[in-house]
Chains A and B, each alone.
Chain A
C-alpha cells in the first residue's frame, strides 16, 4: 500500500520554507524520508520510528503523527542544494507487531530558485 504524498511539486525562493506531507490509510510502524537528485540514487534523510517523534537535521526536520497515520517534512530557510525529489517511505504495523516491507510515495519535486 503506497503512501500518498502532497504536494506533487513545490517551487520556492531561497530562504523560504516548505512542508511536504505523507499519509497512509494503514497503521504505520515507521516513516522514512529520502531525497533524490536528477540522475542519482535516493539518499537517506531520516527515519521516524515512534508516534509523535520529531527529528531534525540542520534545517530539515520531520514529524510523525501515529494517530493520523501521517508524517510531514519541514524545510526551513531553504537552500539551492535542497532542490530535488523527496520521497517518503513507510513500513506497516501488523497485528503481530512485526514490521514489513518499505514502500514509497510517488514523490514531491522541490525546486529552489535563487
Chain B
C-alpha cells in the first residue's frame, strides 16, 4: 500500500534465527505501529511509537524489539525466532495518538 512500505513481504526462518522487519512511511506522521495477525485472533499490538525516538510496549511485546531512529522508519526485530512467532505482521502509520491508521501490505513470516 502506497504510504507504508514493509520489507520483506515473505520470510522463512529456522528456530533461533534472527531477523528484522523494516517499515517506512512516506508521510510525516508521528505515530507508527507494529501488529501481528493470527487466524481468529485479530490484530494484536506488539509495539507502537508515538513519536521519533520513543517506543512503548503493546499487548504482546515478548520476543520482539523495535527501533524508531527517525520519523520515517520503524523496524521490528526478532532476536531468536520461535514457531509461535509465525504470523502476518502489519506496520501502520497514524496521525496523532487517535488518528486513523494506514497499514502496509503485511509481512508473512514462517518460523520452522
Question: Interface residue tally of chain B, by bracket?
Answer: 20 to 34
Given A87-B43, A107-B42, check contact A101 B100 (CB 8 Å).
Answer: no
Which of B94, B97, B98, B106 is in CB contact (< 8 Å) with A41? B106
- Residue of B with least CB distance to A47: B100
Kindly state the separation between the CA atoms of A98 and B98 in the bound complex, as whole angstroms: 10
**Contact assessment for A106 and B97 in the assembled complex, using a CB-CB cutoff below 8 Å:** no
Residues of B within 8 A of A43 (CB): 103
Q: Which residues of A contact B (CB under 8 A)?
A: 2, 29-30, 32, 34, 40-44, 47, 49, 87, 89, 91, 98-107
- Apart from A41-B106, A89-B43, A103-B45: 12 A-B pairs, beta carbons within 8 A: A2-B42, A2-B44, A30-B98, A41-B103, A47-B99, A49-B98, A91-B97, A101-B56, A101-B97, A102-B98, A102-B101, A103-B58
